[in-house]
Amino acid sequence: MTSLCRISHPFCSCRSVMDRISQLPEHLLLRILSLLPSTKDVVDTMVLSKRWQFLWTLVPRLVYDGIHQNTTKETFSKFVDRSLLLHEAPVLDYLQFRLGWKSSDVDNIGVWARAVSRHSGNILSSISPVRVLYLRLSSLEDAYPSSGCIFHRLVDFKLCRCERQWLDLLMCVLRDSPKLRTLKLVQQYGYQADDPNPCWSEPSLVPECLLSSLETLECESYEGTKKEKEVVEYILRNGRCLRKVTISSRSTDSNKKIKELALSFRSSPICQVVFN
C-alpha cells in the first residue's frame, strides 16, 4: 500500500498543479501559451482539459517551425492550414514562419496570408497586424503581391539573406512599414544564396521608416558582398533616426570590408556603428 501511494503521489501532485493553473484568468493562460516555442506546442495543450481545448485558438503569437520539427512539406502545410483556419485571436502580435529545406518550397503562402486576414479583403493584411516579423522565403512572388500592403504596426523585422531575392523582399517591407524601428539581417552560417544579379537599383523614393523611425540595424554574418555593402550604405545614408548599427562577421576575410563601412556617410548625427 505504501509503495502504491509513493507511485501515485507524483501524478496526483502534477494533476493538482495543472488544476490550479487551469483556474487562472484567461489572459494569464494566453500569456503562458505565448511563451511556448512553437504553435504546434501550443496546439498540443488542447488535450489537457476542457478548459484548454479551444484556448490555443486565441493565442496572439503564431510560430510555425518547419526547421526543427521532424516534418514533411505536406504535413507542415496541412498543420498550418488547419490551425490558421481555426485561429480566432482578435489581434495577432507576432507571426513567424521558419521554413527549412523540407518546407521552404511550400506553395500556399498566399493561402495562409488570406487565412490570417480572412476578416479583410487584402491578401497581405495577412501579416499587416503584426508588430514583430521574421521571414525567410524562397519565392517573393508567392508571398508578396505587387499591390503591396501597409504593415501599420510592424516595429521589429528580421530577414534571412539566404535566398536570392532577399533584397527585393527587404525593400518591399521597408517601403510598407512606416513605423519600423528595428531591422535585423541574418544569414545561415555557410549558406550563400546563388545570386545571378548581384547589383540592385535604389528605389526612387526613400522608405518612410528610414526618414522617421528606424533606430537600429543589425547585420549578422556580413561577408562584404556587393549587395550587402550597398544596402548597409543605403540605410546609413538615408536613416535619419539611426542610433546604432551593428555589423558582425564570422570570417576574418571580411574585416577589411567591414572597416570600409566606417567611412560611409551617415545621415544621423548620433548613429553609432559597431563592428564585431
131-175 residue pLDDT tens: 888 777 655 555 565 555 678 888 999 998 877 778 888 998 899
57-102 residue pLDDT tens: 999 888 888 776 667 777 887 888 788 878 888 777 777 777 655 5
Edge to edge, the sheet with strand 272-275 lists 61-65, 94-98, 132-135, 156-160, 182-186, 216-219, 244-247, 272-275
- Lowest pLDDT segment from 4-13, 44-53, 220-229: 4-13
Of the candidates 226, 236, 219, 247, the one whose C-alpha atom is nearest the C-alpha of residue 271 is 236
Q: What percent of the chain has pLDDT over 90?
A: 29
Q: pLDDT band for 189, please (50, 70, 90 cuts).
A: low
**pLDDT surpasses 60 at 12:** no
Residue 4, CB-side half-sphere exposure with 13 Å CA sphere: 1
Cα distances (angstroms) measured from residue 249 to each of 153, 237, 259: 31, 22, 11
To the question of pTM greater than 0.95 for the whole model, the response is: no
Whether 247 and 261 have beta carbons less than 8 Å apart is answered as: yes
Report, in this order, helix, strand and coil percent for the chain, each rounded to 5: 40, 15, 45
Amino acid at 105: D
DSSP state, residue 252: G
**pLDDT surpasses 50 at 119:** no
191-205 residue pLDDT tens: 555 554 556 778 889
Separation between Cα atoms, residue 49 and residue 211, nearest integer Å: 50
Separation between Cα atoms, residue 31 and residue 36, nearest integer Å: 9
Q: Residue 177 CA to chain centroid, in angstroms?
A: 14
Pairing of strands 94-98, 61-65: parallel
